[in-house]
A and B are shown apart, each in its own frame.
Chain A
Amino acid sequence: GAGVSQTPSNKVTEKGKYVELRCDPISGHTALYWYRQSLGQGPEFLIYFQGTGAADDSGLPNDRFFAVRPEGSVSTLKIQRTERGDSAVYLCASSPGLVETQYFGPGTRLLVL
């Protein structure tokens, strides 16, 4: 079946702009996770959803970052007033439920100029 998909694959924006990154999980997966990966580092947790609600958003770096999953499927990560330090690959993963294997999408490479 189809894996996790993420759009766009690449996004270039200017400092101060607003961006939205989209994640489409594997069909039927109830848990959805966002991670951020900087160059040469492992992925770092941002937020995860169980259904429509954010179960843990402790990894969001500040209030410029926000994520939603209104219908319990597709999720959007929103970044306001982007900064150059936000440049990274944003990874989305989904799993059938909690404490299950997470399957990752291809990521969105964000570059803030």
Chain B
Amino acid sequence: AQKVTQAQTEISVVEKEDVTLDCVYETRDTTYYLFWYKQPPSGELVFLIRRNSFDEQNEISGRYSWNFQKSTSSFNFTITASQVVDSAVYFCALSGTQGGSEKLVFGKGTKLTVNP
């Protein structure tokens, strides 16, 4: 069975602080995909990143960076110099590649509040 754990339920920071959102996953698939989505107060899930299990290179996109460590089954997300507009619920998700496993399995989300 696949499982995603986001242990941090809520995080509150002050603007310009760096913040890391943790994600730990479980899967028996040898090939799988990991995702992060952002859900602002408006409610729509916004895609941020997709990584496959064979690509452990860290990725940076502007103020966002992702650290994928297969050895610890983690895919953490860091926001550098946070801004008020980063306030949202962030979801980590996992999908497999075996038949019938294309569905996304989500964690419970981390609510990030960035205060001015």
Contacts and interface: CB of A to CB of B under 8 A. Distances in A.
B43 A101 contact: no
Interface in B1-33: 4, 33
A62 interface: no
Contacts of A107: 43-44
Most chain B CB neighbours (cut-off 10 Å) among A59, A93, A101: A101
A40 B107 CA distance: 11
Given A103-B47, A106-B43, A107-B43, A59 B91 contact: no
B44 A56 contact: no
Contacts, number: 57
Q: How large is the interface on B (under 10, 10 to 19, 20 to 34, 35 or more residues)?
A: 20 to 34
Contacts of B46: 104
Interface in A25-76: 31, 33, 35, 40-45, 48, 55-56, 58-59
B35 A101 contact: yes
B95 interface: yes
Contacts of B42: 106
Interface residues of A, number: 26
Given A42-B91, A107-B44, A101 B106 contact: no
Contact of A45 (B35, B43, B103, B108): B103
A99 interface: yes
A55 B101 CA distance: 10
A89 B45 CA distance: 12
B116 interface: no
A101 B37 CA distance: 11
Given A44-B106, A45-B104, A56-B103, A91 B45 contact: yes
Given A56-B102, A93-B45, 17 more contacts: A40-B108, A42-B4, A42-B107, A42-B108, A42-B109, A55-B100, A56-B100, A98-B102, A99-B95, A101-B47, A101-B50, A103-B47, A104-B37, A104-B44, A104-B45, A107-B43, A107-B44
Interface of B: 4, 33, 35, 37, 42-47, 50, 91, 93, 95, 97, 100, 102-109
